Structure 1
Amino acid sequence: MSHADHYWETATLVLALPSRSVIAHHVHDEHQLVYASQGVISVTTAAGTWVAPSNRGIWIPAGSSHQHRVHGPTRLHGVGLPPEANPWGMPTPAVVSVSPLLRELIVRYTEASTAMQDSARRKRLLAVLLDEVFFSPQQPIRLPAPVDSRLADACARVEAELATAIDIQDLARISGTSARTLTRLFKEEMAMSYVQWRTQLRLYHATRMLADGMPVGAVAHRCGWKSPSSFVAVFRSTFGYTPGGRRSSQ
Structure 2
Amino acid sequence: MRQTARDPDGFPVRGLAGTYRDGHVLDRHTHPWAQLVYAVSGVMRVATPGATWLTPPTRAIWVPGGTPHEIAMRGAVAMRTLYLAPSGEAPGLSACRAIEVQPLLRELILHIVRIGMLQAGNPAHERIEALLVELLAAAETAPLELPLPSDPRAAGFAERLLADPAAEASLSEMARGSGASLRTLQRLFQAETGLSLEAWRGRARMQQAVVSLSAGAPVTEAALDAGYQSASAFIAAFKKTFGVTPARYRTRTP
TM (norm. structure 1) is 0.71
1:166 aligns with one of 170, 179, 184: 170
Contact 1:72–1:208, Cα closer than 8 Å, also in 2:
no
Distance, in Å, in 2 between the alignment partners of 1:160 and 1:192 is 19
**Residue in 2 that maps onto 1:72:** 75
Which structure exhibits the higher relative contact order, with contacts defined as CA atoms closer than 8 Å and separated by 6 or more residues?
2
TM-superposed CA distance for 1:187, in Å, is: 3.0
Alignment match of 2:110 (pick from 88, 107, 111): 107
Contact 1:144/1:190, CA 8 A, preserved across alignment: yes
Query: Residues 149, 14 of structure 1: CA spacing in aligned structure 2 closer, same or farther, 3 A cutoff?
Result: closer
CA deviation after TM superposition for structure 1 residue 89, in Å: 6.0
| Equivalent position amino acid for 1:163 in 2 | A
Residues 111-140 of structure 1, C-alpha deviations (whole Å, 9 max, x = no match) = 2267x7553212111101111111123233
2:99 paired with 1:96: yes
- Judging changes above 3 Å, is the alpha-carbon distance between structure 1 residues 241 and 70 closer, same or farther for their aligned structure 2 residues? farther
Residues 34, 27 of structure 1: alpha-carbon distance in 2 compared, 3 angstrom cutoff: same
Does 2:54 match 1:51?
yes
Counterpart for residue 190 of structure 1: 193
Take 2:181 and 2:137, find their aligned partners in 1: how far apart are those partners? 43
Structure-2 change in CA distance of 1:11 and 1:48 (3 Å)? farther
Q: 2 CA distance for matches of 1:222 and 1:136?
A: 28
How many residues matched? 236
Which amino acid in the other structure matches residue 15 of structure 2?
Answer: L
1:227–1:16 Cα change, 3 Å: farther
| RMSD, matched Cα | 4.0
| 1:148-183 Cα deviation digits (max 9, x unpaired) | 24533543564576422636x77779865464x544
Question: Which position in structure 1 is the counterpart of 2:19?
Answer: 17
CA distance in 1, matches of 2:38, 2:162: 26
Tell me which amino acid in the other structure corresponds to 2:100. S
Aligned partner of residue 135 in structure 2, secondary structure = helix
Percent of residue pairs identical: 31
